[in-house]
Amino acid sequence: MSQRRRIPHLIGSLLLVAAAGVGCGEASADSGAGAEPEVRPLGRIVPVPASVTPEGEPYALTRDTRIGVDTSSRASKAVGRYLAGLLRPATGFPLPVVDEEAADGGVRLRLDPDDGALGDEGYRLHSAPEGVTLTAREPAGLFRGVQTLRQQLPSAVEHDSVQPGPWNIAGGTITDTPRYAYRGAMLDVSRHFFTVDEVKRYIDQLALYKINTLHLHLSDDQGWRIAVDSWPRLTTHGGSTEVGGTPGGFYTKAQYKEIVRYAASRYQEVIPEIDMPGHTFAALSSYPELNCDGIAPPLYTGVKVGKSSLCVPKAVTYDFVDDVIREIAELTPGRYLHIGGDEAHSTSHADYVTFMDKVQPVVAKYGKTVVGWHQLTGATPAKDALVQYWGLDRTPAAEKERVAAAARNGTGLILSPADRAYLDMKYANDTTLGLTWAGYVEVRRSYDWDPATYLPGAPESAVRGVEAPLWTETLSTTDDLDVMAFPRLPGLAELGWSPASTHDWDTYKVRLAEQAPRFAALGIDYYRSPQVPWPGE
């Protein structure tokens, strides 16, 4: 991979003060410098919680603290072990995971299946000097609540070596449920390949901000990244390179299953994407019979789009699609399979409609629900399909209306407007990495929009959530991913999680600035946007 390119990030010793007297979302916009408080005000986290009631003195995590769980629940025990694993390195405390009744004065993780108000991912965190209790209806809610508990502790808790503390959690109660059930991030491993460990690192970053969906873009013109036993040259040939002609790579089925398993341990559902009928040079180069003229083109390592297409009239095309979807569906326990469908400029409209009419039933045959880019609305989306809108503010009204009409007809929407949510867009004209075709996307622009009202004519009920895609034409290292994802990713996560009533740039930018020491402790490079009052500036 290419030499790492870094944008200077915060030195770990620089910390940020929380504004005095601040609860949930009450910071003043000019409170951005100083030392991190010994007790972080309750709810001063990202995403901001739905309800925060500060009350009483803080809880102090000590060497004697125990983490109590329902030991009859495998999921509860796993979340308890995860929490202990997060906290042990920096605190140096043993933090044994024990039965809930043996955790007097400690941190209790409780499942209450009768608490319907918390839903599938909600939680209630109560902190007082005598202990912390985290309650959820489902294990996913416990896991989301752990991220809140984690952020209420000093940022130094993210270090992998013992830090001095103290480790205080402000007193009071947080009750929190997500605004949208779908809160996603996409990682393009096709333009540049990223290893299993690098994907796991990104999964852990997503977990901190309560993202619950990892969309993996597994095939494109520049590389095919998932093993398909019935078509082996897809990876041995089609996965051999990447943008710029450097060596590529692919995931074996065992490696892909390891990514899926790891994501599930962070309560993230993996959605695999096989982009078609365009974005298919890697496949076309691997098998000449997939081309209408029977001639395989050379491997493609550039970045132009819209020049490839599967041969829609050929029967072998649908044998290929059936095999690929079947094998990937077998590996994927989640509900969805993404079939792409964007930028198929080399496919006629009639062929595009024919192709989608034939392919969508294949997805259903293997037990999955179709997801496609919003161009799928140029055909007829399958029942229960989701379309992912990636248009711009300046996208023609007719195209927006076509998507909105599909939404009114029952198609669900995932919103990823490129000039708001695409993490590979440059922040400004002096940004080293990234692209500019959607314009510059600074931190405020990325945060300051409402998914419920973004697409004119689309009913709010059709919006399933938001997703932050990270395309990798110009990104080849984890440092590159960091700089482009941070600090925009936390804001998009907040759009997906927090109530619309909490949305406010002036208070958000202060809470975002307070994430800087956490980024540093986690080794995350980030862009020091001049729009954010970073510590020490």
Whether the bond into 499 is cis, omega within 30 of 0: no
Amino acid symbol at 93: F
Residue 523 has phi, psi (to 5 degrees) of: 75, 30
* 3-class SS string, 55-101: CCCCEEECCCCCEEECCCCHHHHHHHHHHHHHHHHHHCCCCCEEEHH
Tell me how far the alpha carbon of residue 479 is from its chain's centroid.
17
Strand partners, 262: none
3-state class of 127 per DSSP? strand
Q: Which two tokens stand for residue 312?
A: 């829609």
Q: Do 106 and 66 touch, CB atoms closer than 8 A?
A: yes
Amino acid symbol at 375: Q
Query: Given its phi and psi angles, is residue 535 left (phi above 0), alpha (psi -120 to 50 degrees) or beta?
Result: beta
Cα separation of 130 and 153, whole Å?
A: 17
Cα separation of 94 and 472, whole Å?
A: 41
Tell me how far the alpha carbon of residue 105 is from its chain's centroid.
35
Residue 167 neighbours by CB distance under 10 Å: 22
Strand partners, 169: 59
Catalytic residue among 343, 401, 442, 467: 343
Label residue 330 exposed, middle or buried (CB < 10 Å: 0-12, 13-18, 19+).
exposed
Active-site residue flag, 343: yes
Which helix H or strand E contains 131, and what residues bound it? strand 131-136
Residue 440: partners with Cβ closer than 8 Å, 6 or more residues away: 425, 426, 427, 428, 429, 431
Q: Which two tokens stand for residue 271?
A: 């959605």
Helix axes 196-208, 488-497, angle to 10 degrees: 60
Strands 172-176 and 51-54 come out as antiparallel
Q: Do 90 and 158 touch, CB atoms closer than 8 A?
A: yes
Cα separation of 100 and 469, whole Å?
A: 40
Half-sphere exposure of 171 (CA within 13 A, CB side): 10
Q: Which two tokens stand for residue 216?
A: 């993996």
What is the DSSP code string of 260-287?
A: HHHHHHTT-EEEEEE--SSS-HHHHHH-
DSSP conformation class of 37: P
Active site residues: 343
